Amino acid sequence: MKVFYSRVSTLDQNDSRQLNELAGFDYVFSDKCSGLIPLFKRPKGKQVKKLIDEGQLKELTIHSIDRLGRDTISVLEVWRELTQKNIRIVCRNPNFQNLNEDGTVNIFSELMLSILSIMSDFEKKMIKERQKEGIAKAKIEGKYQGRSVNTKESVGKFLTKPKSQRIIRDLRNGLTIREIAENCDCSLSTVMKVKKVFESQ
């Protein structure tokens, strides 16, 4: 069985760029959720996992390698798991695969995957590092301030924060508290707080 899998981050994003040349596939799955959610915990990703567990999936095609996971480790885990189960992964952009058509491991693609994943992970770390440096600089210049002691944030302001809005969106989409925490990179208590405040309105 051959499956094509795509993902975009939000409901209003168009995934038509990924969904082309789909002739010959038994299933076409398209998730609209953050890449922070592990592949097999996404709504359509769960269906892919079911086909794997049932021994039906033979080939999984994706538009790009980052569709498989949120970081280097998660991408490599999925890649290795499917390779060990002799499930062929075909990546379109760039064009490479884990197994050749005769079932042998594609050594060049393994090397290429590792390099691409490391570069992507390094780039994310550099972005976070620059953000930290920017905050540190702003603190020195007196431009960065946290909330003053004993001040209280209004409900409206709390719920309109970007992170609160992402949590509310995921709550509406039916994700679990744990999935939302992973998706929004925050603690379970933060998700529970937003949920409680939101539901009280």
| Catalytic residue IDs | 9
Residues near 184 by Cβ (< 8 Å), separated by ≥ 6? 34, 36, 163, 166, 167, 170, 190, 191
Which residues lie below 8 Å from residue 27, measured CB to CB, with a gap of 6+? Answer: 1, 3, 4, 47, 51
At a CB cut-off of 8 Å and minimum separation 6, what does 82 contact? 52, 60, 88, 89, 98
